[in-house]
Amino acid sequence: MPRKARQEIIAPNTLYHIVSRGNNRRRIFRAPKDYKRFLRILEQVKKELPFYLYSYNLLPNHYHLEIETENIPISKIMHRINFLYVNYFHQRYKTSGHLFQDRFYSSIINKERYFWECSRYIDLNAVRAGLVKKPEDYPWSSYLAYCQKDYKGKLIDQDRFLKYYGENLENSRLAYLEFVKEGLKFKKEPDFIKNKWLI
C-alpha cells in the first residue's frame, strides 16, 4: 500500500513538532557519545539548511524537535539530519538496514496558541517517560539551555523564543521555567498532540 502523501507547507516561519522513532522501538541512542553526535549533527544541519530550533528531547528510542523553518522545506532538513545520524550509527555499531521507523512524524503547530506549550511538552518528555523526576535532571533536553541565565550555545534559538513572550529576556526565561514546572501537574496531553494539523 503506497504511503499517504505528507502534508507540508512550503512557507517561511512554519512551526513544526517533529518526532522520529527507532525501527520496532529499538534504541537509536545507545551511549552518551550517540546523543552528543546527534546534537552536533543538528548544529551542522542548522548551518547547511538554516532553521530555528526551540526545543529538543532525545530519548533512548526516539527524539522530539520543535523547529521553525526559514526557506528550506522541513522534509529536506529532516532527511539530512537522519541521513547523517544513520551513517554515523551504522559505522559505529557495524549495523545496516533501517534505523528509523518509516518517515518522521510532523505536526504543524499554531504559533499563536501552542508555541510555548509545544516546547513544554517536549522538555517534559523524559519526565513523562519515567527517566527522571525533574526536567533539569535530564542531560539530553533543551530545558537545560533555558535554565542558563546567559546561554551562549548556538543550537537553541533562545532569544527568538523568549522574545515571543516579551522584550525582557530574563523575565521571559523565568516565566518559561515556571510554565514548564506547572506542566508537571498535568497528565493530560495538550490539544496539539491529539490533532495533527493545527494551523
Q: What percent of the chain has pLDDT over 70?
A: 88
How many C-beta atoms surround the C-beta of residue 197 within 10 A? 12
Is position 199 within any domain? no
Write out the residue range of the structural domain in which residue 155 sits.
15-186+188-192
What is the tally of structural domains in the chain?
1
pLDDT value, residue 24 = 85
Is position 149 within any domain? yes
Q: Which three cell numbers stand for residue 14?
A: 512554519
User: What's the predicted TM-score (pTM) here?
Assistant: 0.89
Closest to 6 measured CA to CA, from 114, 102, 71: 102
Is position 167 within any domain? yes
Stronger pLDDT, 180 or 7, i.e. the higher one: 180
Res. 52 pLDDT band, cuts 50 70 90:
very high
Residue 8 has pLDDT above 70, yes or no: no
pLDDT value, residue 121 = 94
What is the per-residue pLDDT across 103-152, written as a single tens digit (0 to 9) for each? 889 999 988 889 999 999 999 999 999 999 999 999 999 999 999 988 98
What is the per-residue pLDDT across 110-123, written as a single tens digit (0 to 9) for each? 888 899 999 999 99
Is position 6 within any domain? no
Stronger pLDDT, 74 or 188, i.e. the higher one: 74
Q: Distance (Å, rounded) from C-alpha 128 to C-alpha 57?
A: 12
DSSP secondary structure letters along 95-115: --S--B-SSPEEEE--HHHHH
Q: What is the mean pLDDT of the chain?
A: 89
DSSP 187: -
Is position 197 within any domain? no
Is position 4 within any domain? no
We report the CATH number of the domain holding residue 104 as 3.30.70.1290
Sole residue written with cell 516565566 = 175
Is position 10 within any domain? no
What is the per-residue pLDDT across 58-71, written as a single tens digit (0 to 9) for each? 999 999 999 999 99
Is position 70 within any domain? yes
